């Protein structure tokens, strides 16, 4: 299949992922994650970037994936995970030949339409293209001093990843809003 501009096609089909697509999903994630090679800290890069077992573990932990299909082929994936009182965008990847053609935009719009909670996304600070993508879709970087609190509250990641990541949210959070969000999450259990 040859990549085409999705703007010339009927809207891409967004649907829940299926259990028989794990290999397709890891293929997309690992192909797209090649963009991180040499950009993120070398101690955070590994190959494959996401093994199948890790993807299955994420699904078991509650990440719900949707896929974007064009011409009956899956070309993008994105997950959402409810954690306490927020939803996290997780593992957003588009096949390289389809990047910049609306696939990620269709996926994130689909997920955002289905939640009323605050939505947070964590990504590598050095992945400036990812930060710009989320900003184009209404997300805003949180204050640097709020980032560690949010990452430690809503994600399970190593300290090194906390040091090298950013958090974006919608709606935008001030430091006070973020602290209040975390306090409310702890009251709910």
Average pLDDT of the chain to the nearest whole number: 94
pLDDT reading at 8 higher than 70? no
Helices (H) and strands (E) in the chain, counts: 7, 7
What is the pLDDT averaged over residues 6-19? Answer: 78
Given this model, what pLDDT does residue 1 score?
45
Angle among Cα 152, 35, 48 to the nearest 5 degrees reads: 75
Question: Residue 6: which pLDDT band, with cuts at 50, 70 and 90?
Answer: very low
Question: What is the per-residue burial (b if ≥16 Cβ within 10 Å, else e) of 138-167?
Answer: ebebbeeebbebbbebbbeeeeebbebbbb
pLDDT reading at 4 higher than 60? no
Per-residue pLDDT tens over the stretch 114-139 = 999 999 999 999 999 999 999 999 99
The domains located in the chain, with CATH, are 6-188 (3.40.630.30)
Per-residue pLDDT tens over the stretch 82-116 = 999 999 999 999 999 999 999 999 999 999 999 99
Spatial strand order of the sheet with 140-141 comes to 13-16, 64-70, 73-83, 86-94, 119-124, 165-170, 140-141
Share of the chain above pLDDT 70, in %: 93
**C-beta of residue 165 within 8 angstroms of C-beta of residue 151:** yes
């Amino acid at each position: 299949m040859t990549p085409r501009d999705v703007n010339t096609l009927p809207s891409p089909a967004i649907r829940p992922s299926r259990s028989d697509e794990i290999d397709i999903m890891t293929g997309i994630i690992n192909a797209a994650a090649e963009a991180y090679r040499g950009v993120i800290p070398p101690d955070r890069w590994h190959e494959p970037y996401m093994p199948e077992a890790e993807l299955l573990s994420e699904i078991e932990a509650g990440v719900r994936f949707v896929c974007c299909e064009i011409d009956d082929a899956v070309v993008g994936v994105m997950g959402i995970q409810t954690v306490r009182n927020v939803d996290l965008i997780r593992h957003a990847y588009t096949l390289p030949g389809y990047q910049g053609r609306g696939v990620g935009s269709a996926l994130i719009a689909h997920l955002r339409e289905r939640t009323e909670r605050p939505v947070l996304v964590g990504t590598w600070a050095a992945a400036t293209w990812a930060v710009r993508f989320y900003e184009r879709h209404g997300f805003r970087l949180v204050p640097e001093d709020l980032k560690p609190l949010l990452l430690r509250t809503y994600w399970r990641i190593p300290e090194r990843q906390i040091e090298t990541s950013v958090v974006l949210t919608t709606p935008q959070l001030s430091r006070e809003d973020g602290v209040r969000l975390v306090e409310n999450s702890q009251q709910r259990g």
